[in-house]
Chains A and B, each alone.
Chain A
């Protein structure tokens, strides 16, 4: 029985009077493609913040590969192999796509207290960066500055950044946010290729994508887990249906 890669144990976060995360408990075994869905205000953003380390919980714990990372700062979690992408693209806009990913690679290849040699020419950084770009279909756009890229390309770049850090677990925060149908399909194809190669925790609104990709799905409503299981079970679950009543199913864009 393999132990879970990520263990979320009664994680609770309150903002003043609002309980954004209510004793969330979830186990994710290695290699699983796990999706977290929920209506607006469900606490998905808070959950991402808690897992990434930008927000500290009042109660509960997060364990990654058996070690407690609950109080670990953001950069340490990345070092341990927990990568994340941002819901609103957060990139180095005055650098090229390649330079962006190369920085991510650099963070995980030795230390950066090197003050003399030109790192832009380091093959050990460029090659993996190019590979990561190729994986998300951006190989041709490597020399383009981020502030000249389209929205969809930036979302792809977000994924490439996460991949470049050779993660054990990738936390994807609404990668399809703001995408049209064609771009979304392309993203789904990219994600499908990653499935199985690494453990993925996907936060998404786009139901088509979620049901196409996920091994298991967890549903959050007002910060609480109301259901967790295989896609077929979730589809049939009464509580889930009720939570989504009035909510558009299918391609839910904000």
Chain B
């Protein structure tokens, strides 16, 4: 792996730390104030775009947990966006509109799928693991296409956002935006606690040198699997949010290119850093948006950009800005 680790705070020079912290603080402040801008300017599109950013950032945070900290490159992570989304969609169609049921189901089913896929895939590593996670994601994509009752290839419209009694009204776009924001911050906080806990150290050690971990007495498979499940569950939550945001789910949500997008978001932001996934998601979605306005063929530019990132950028954007120690 090319990226270096989340630096323990006592090692980084103070100036770099301040610069990085300032950037993140600024970004968070802008995100927090965005609805104010929307209200003042009347530009609803920006809020829609950034709600999507926040939701996908949660997905990226979950992928970063297994990929950046755990060293498990999963090319099937979009499956959980789909599972979470379809849980909401299917339950809604069957008459269960309560978020109190939908969202736990979304998380639980995602966790279950992650458990099965992880149990099978984590027996392999490296390229095998990448291909296998890809294959399993493709499998669930086809399953979704085969679900005629729930729209199949055309997808499923969700007429009502998840209901939470009188607690919170998701139909209010601003409220929904802040909910996503809070959930994103909560996810990042959760990951921050996780990676320095006993469990997290085992995961990071396994990424660093699995053979060594086993030699000192850790049953590494178990830990990787649990990490994988946690990531899947968190991404399932993102899926539920996404379904609410777009009021629509379709198999395209789980297409393997979506998994590729998630990987790009994580890598762009810098593997194995807490706020990297957010930075990367913002960068990627803004880039996508900008390119699609400039040209009818955005991938002609995006593709080579990704290639260049792969060839030249060690630690993603943060590496570019020299806030991370080089290997």
Contact = CB atoms under 8 A, between A and B. Distances in A.
Interface stretch (B133-141, B205-213, B312-320): B205-213
B98 interface: no
A113 B219 CA distance: 12
A75 B217 CA distance: 4
Interface residues of B, number: 28
Interface residues of A, number: 36
Contacts of B123: none
Q: In terms of DSSP, what is the predominant structure of the interface of chain B?
A: helix
B210 to A, nearest CB: 10
Contact of B214 (A74, A93, A161): A74
B208 A93 contact: yes
Contacts of B208: 92-95
B205 A103 contact: yes
A51 to B, nearest CB: 12
A104 interface: yes
B198 A94 contact: no
Nearest to A104: B216
A114 B194 CA distance: 8
Contact of B215 (A78, A95, A106, A119): A78
Contacts of A155: none
A106 B198 contact: yes
A79 B8 CA distance: 29
Contacts of A112: 198-199, 201-202, 218, 223
A107 to B, nearest CB: 4
A86 B214 CA distance: 13
Nearest to A164: B216
Given A116-B193, A120-B196, A90 B201 contact: no
B217 A78 contact: yes
A108 interface: yes
Interface string B1-36: 000110010100000000000000000000000000
A167 to B, nearest CB: 10
B220 interface: yes
Contacts of B5: 94-95
B217 A91 contact: no
Given A74-B215, A165-B217, A91 B196 contact: no
A23 B220 CA distance: 32
A121 to B, nearest CB: 9
B124 interface: no
Given A90-B209, A91-B209, A112-B202, A165 B197 contact: no
Contacts of A84: 215
B219 A90 contact: no
Contacts of B200: 115, 119
A103 B218 CA distance: 10
A52 interface: yes
**A75, A94, A119 — which one has the most chain B CB atoms within 10 A of its CB?**
A94
Interface in B201-246: 201-202, 205, 208-209, 211-220, 223, 226
A62 B199 CA distance: 32
Contacts of B209: 90-93
Contacts of A164: 216
B215 A52 contact: yes
B232 to A, nearest CB: 16
A84 B215 CA distance: 7
A248 B281 CA distance: 62
Contact of A91 (B201, B212, B218): B212
B216 A165 contact: yes
Contacts of A104: 216-217
Nearest to B192: A118
A92 B217 contact: no
A115 B217 contact: no
A84 B214 CA distance: 11
Contacts of B202: 103, 106, 112
Contacts of B219: 73, 75
A90 B214 contact: no
A104 B217 CA distance: 8
Given A106-B201, A108-B217, A120-B201, 19 more contacts: A73-B214, A74-B214, A75-B214, A75-B218, A84-B215, A90-B209, A90-B215, A91-B209, A92-B208, A92-B212, A104-B216, A106-B198, A108-B216, A112-B201, A113-B226, A115-B193, A118-B193, A120-B8, A164-B216
9 contacts: A79-B217, A92-B208, A93-B209, A94-B208, A103-B216, A107-B216, A115-B193, A115-B199, A165-B216
Interface of B: 4-5, 8, 10, 193-194, 196-202, 205, 208-209, 211-220, 223, 226
